[in-house]
A and B are shown apart, each in its own frame.
Chain A
Amino acid sequence: MDSIIRLRNVHYAYDSHSADPIPALQGVDLTIHDGEFVTIVGHNGSGKSTLARHLNALLLPDRGEVSIKGWKTTDLSRLREIRSTVGMVFQNPDNQIVATIVEEDVAFGPENLGIPPGEIRERVDQSLEWTGLTELRHRAPHLLSGGQKQRVCIAGVLALRPQVLVLDEATAMLDPQGRRQVLDLVHRLNREHGITIVAITHHMEEAVAADRLVVMSQGKIALEGPPRKVFRERERMEQLGVEAPPISQLAGLLHDWDGRFPPDALSIDDFVTAVLRESRFQTRVPPRPVAAPARPKPEPGEPAIRVQDLEHYYLSGTPLETKALDGLSMEVGAGEIVGIMGATGSGKSTLVQHFNALLRPHRGQVEVLGQDTADPKADLRALRRRVGFVFQQPESQLFAHYVGDDVAYGPRNAGWSHREVRLRVQRAMQAVGLDFEKFKDRLTFALSGGQRRRVALAGVLALEPEILVLDEPTAGLDPAGCRQLMEHLLNFHRTAGTTLVLVSHDMEQLAQSCDRLVAVAAGRLALSGAPHAVFNQREELHRLGLGLPAVTEAMHRLREHGLFESDGPILELQQALAVLQEALA
């Protein structure tokens, strides 16, 4: 294979002319070959996005050199060639689309290259076909789903006829369905059209199918090789702040216990086959039933939220009227952690916005902390003080100069005394792991992404709500950030007894942290119960477009093969390991 991109000892620092430059790349050597699929991972701030921007001359190295097909990126006369050879797709599709019509946006690149209109049309047609968007070509982008929008962005880059496609966390803001769409497309482009892919991601599952996995840390390449090999180095990866997908972790743990099992598994299929192959030669111990360990369930108190036959419409009274909720009933008990899952468009966001009266029922009833939200005399501001709501990407709602002021916004609105406000801000910041004295006078916008998210969370916690609703609180964070945030939240729940309502697409997260799960589909309640009960209904979940956590899915298949018996799904890694050890001993 010929090399297409070559980086030699690349150094780069932000603010390099200031007194204290921030080093981002510190000597990167990397060669990318024609037709290869390379995935780059690394914790936040490891330099992976900076690296991506060097690949098409959006950034130029301070030291060292980057060459694309032999053209140095510092050679400005080759800028058009370089950028049309190495196409780039960014994180947020909304911020990449220029035109108000899909096909015209796709045409933007070729227009810039000065290509004659007839050929632009050819290229646009082809790009739309490759990305499966031909039907949507005359649509307005804002009416498309996230996954479709990101495909428009990819089509726009493909119209440049690039040899390399760089994806800079292009799936980070998408739901599982959109992520699937984009990943399938990218793999097809690589396989069928020979386009070289460089994908940067937080989702380790996406690295599985790559030819090569590159782990970055502190501006350097720390680990590199085929994913199978890299995943084996579990300790090293942990040091680098990244983690292998759960299924590879399980395979590794099983290998540590008994060396006959292969230490690497990339997919569920892979793992199940390997375990079955090895277990065939065993003297079969008759399988013993494994009892599903029950999570100590809190005493169901008075329901904090009661929803009865709730209906809600968008754009009511217009031809575009859509029914978002269609007679949904559910309850949330005081002190519970309830997880809400559902495919995009199922109505789950609409549902939870009724919990603090941001939306009010069009039909049916919503009672929150004993207050009927449809009551015209209800004091909504008082209710919202008792029901905190954390939106997706809450850091984008920060506004104050200083961290302390932003966190104090809620308490000040509530009209509490200066002392009281200060006390609450202090407690809230401590709860999310930000030292009050150290952070209160820091500039909000100078913080890192993960820190800003925690400030935003503190801003809601400072009201010390009785119920806390969180919409995808960990979306877009790296694994370490995710884990940290969830720990803070669960800690807060334990100490303050707050009722938590958690909306999430992350099945692992829901399985691990919730007392009860609720699945919403087509505006109705589809499933409800303890995680064990809900994840036991595998077929039903698949029908709803939802899945099982990977470990649960693998264990389910092994159970189907009669390896062990169990009266419930296996949700946790350690539990799965214990069950396998017992069954295979």
Chain B
Amino acid sequence: MSEFELLRNVTIGQYLPTGSAIHRLDPRAKLLGGLFLVLAIALAGSVLEATLGLALVLGLAALSRIPLGYLLRGIRLALPILVLVFGLSLLFRGWDQAAGAVYWEWGWLRFTRYSVWLTGLSLIRIIALIFLTSLITLTSTTTELTQGLEKLLEPFGRFGVPAHELALVNMIALRFVPTLAEEMERVMKAQASRGADFRRRFHRPDQAARAYLPLIVPLFINSFRRAEELASAMEARCYLGGAGRTRFVVLRGGWKDLLAALGCGLYLLGSQWLAWPSLREVLRGLGVNWF
């Protein structure tokens, strides 16, 4: 309804505490395991394998007692892009491979068995990936994630990876998202009161840029001012860099966490090494013969 209330609902890394076993996993295990599963799903070469990955993710969601609605919300946000990409892929990838049956052809449009297969496979993979990443953020707090990341990156410190700084910057960025969103809303309203026009002007990017300048400049200047004040406040609280710091929240990984990460790793290895039959072969084996 309101033209300005667009940012009040920004939620990044929305956390949904249900107290499940997945929630209680060490964030390091979740990040590492998640990485393995992402790789396994992204590299899945057959519909069957991708579906299995999706089923696994849904199983984990059930285990963490996250309602399906929350996972679907992630899909809803990505929907316009998904539709565009899959529409194009369905229409144009038919030319990629000469072989295979052609289902339908009209002018330069061409649906082939290959294009349908490819689109279906990517669809399953993308949905599984979106579910998986939402699942990780829904079951871990931002602190857990940043600290997990810091701990995982720590061994790379000797190669010059600033693990502590990355984690701190990440945390501060997340902390300031709602503050800056609020500020943006206020500046927008103030400039609109002085006759600014924030209607979208895709056909005139020069005009659009000029219209947004009075919005961007104060936001930047205020962010710099905030950064300076934050730096003083951090210094006043004895922050002198990462050396010699301790942590309030201590990560204690147990055998369960190890097992979870190992399990995901094994799944990745298995999915890469085993020869997966294609869906058609499986169906044929079951006596179904549609194709």
Contact = CB atoms under 8 A, between A and B. Distances in A.
Partners in one complex: yes
Interface string A365-391: 000000000000000010011011101
A381 B214 contact: no
Interface string A340-384: 000000000000010010111010000000000000000001001
A133 to B, nearest CB: 15
A181 B195 CA distance: 39
B67 interface: no
B175 A385 contact: no
Contacts of B225: 95
Interface in A83-141: 83-84, 87-88, 90, 92, 94-101, 103-104, 107-117, 120-121, 124, 140-141
Contacts of B187: 396-397
A58 interface: yes
Nearest to A411: B195
A353 B192 CA distance: 12
Given A112-B240, A399-B217, A98 B190 contact: no
Given A90-B229, A104-B248, A114-B245, A157 B237 contact: yes
A402 interface: no
B271 to A, nearest CB: 35
B248 A110 contact: yes
A394 interface: yes
A381 B197 contact: yes
B250 A414 contact: no
A80 B238 contact: yes
A124 B186 contact: no
Given A104-B143, A111-B245, A360 B229 contact: no
Given A384-B192, A394-B190, A463-B195, A107 B248 contact: yes
A156 B237 contact: yes
Given A96-B230, A141-B175, A58 B236 contact: yes
A116 B246 contact: yes
B218 A397 contact: yes
Contacts of A384: 192-195
Given A142-B178, A358-B4, A409-B214, A397 B229 contact: no
A76 B182 CA distance: 39
B204 to A, nearest CB: 16
B172 A88 contact: no
Contact of A120 (B196, B238, B246): B246
A388 B193 CA distance: 6
A157 B230 CA distance: 14
A316 B8 CA distance: 12
B233 A120 contact: no
Given A104-B249, A314-B8, A359-B2, A94 B179 contact: yes
A147 interface: no
A84 B238 contact: yes
Contact of B9 (A114, A141, A315): A315
Contacts of B5: 314
A141 B190 CA distance: 25
Contacts of A333: none
Given A95-B229, A97-B175, A391-B186, A112 B193 contact: no
A79 interface: yes
Contacts of A104: 143, 248-249
A98 B2 contact: no
B218 A396 contact: yes
Nearest to A153: B233
B238 A112 contact: yes
Contacts of B230: 95-96, 98
Contact of A112 (B4, B8, B213, B245): B245
Contacts of A381: 195, 197
B20 interface: no
B238 A113 contact: yes
Interface string B185-203: 0110111111111000000
Interface string B210-224: 000110011001100
A27 B234 CA distance: 28
Given A88-B236, A409-B194, A399 B247 contact: no
Interface in A394-446: 394, 396-400, 409-410, 413-414, 445
B175 A353 contact: no
Nearest to B213: A399
Contacts of A499: none
Contacts of B39: none
Contacts of B189: 353, 358, 389, 391
A525 B172 CA distance: 40
A569 interface: no
B165 interface: no
Nearest to A385: B195
Contact of B246 (A84, A98, A114, A396): A114
Contacts of A97: 175
Contact of A460 (B2, B8, B193): B193
A56 interface: yes
B195 A117 contact: no
Given A100-B175, A120-B246, A360-B1, A410 B194 contact: yes
A10 interface: no
Contacts of B51: none
A160 interface: yes
B199 to A, nearest CB: 10
A252 interface: no
B171 interface: yes
Nearest to B172: A98
A391 B192 CA distance: 12
B246 A100 contact: no
Nearest to A101: B143
B193 A111 contact: no
A397 B190 contact: yes
Given A95-B230, A97-B175, A111 B221 contact: no
Interface in A150-192: 153, 156-157, 160
B218 A399 contact: yes
Contacts of B9: 315, 318
B171 A120 contact: no
Contacts of A92: 226, 229
Nearest to B234: A98
B226 A83 contact: no
A364 to B, nearest CB: 14
B105 interface: no
B179 A142 contact: yes
A94 B226 contact: yes
A263 interface: no
Contacts of B195: 381, 384-385, 409-410, 413-414, 463
Contact of A95 (B1, B178, B226, B247): B226
Given A396-B183, A460-B194, 20 more contacts: A79-B240, A87-B237, A95-B229, A96-B229, A96-B233, A100-B143, A100-B175, A108-B234, A110-B248, A111-B246, A112-B237, A115-B246, A121-B248, A141-B175, A142-B179, A362-B1, A385-B195, A397-B191, A409-B195, A409-B214
24 contacts: A90-B236, A95-B233, A96-B230, A98-B171, A104-B143, A107-B249, A108-B234, A140-B178, A142-B175, A142-B178, A153-B233, A314-B8, A315-B8, A381-B195, A381-B197, A384-B193, A384-B194, A388-B193, A391-B190, A397-B214, A399-B217, A409-B195, A413-B197, A460-B193
- A-B residue pairs, 4 tightest by C-beta: A413-B195, A107-B248, A399-B217, A410-B194
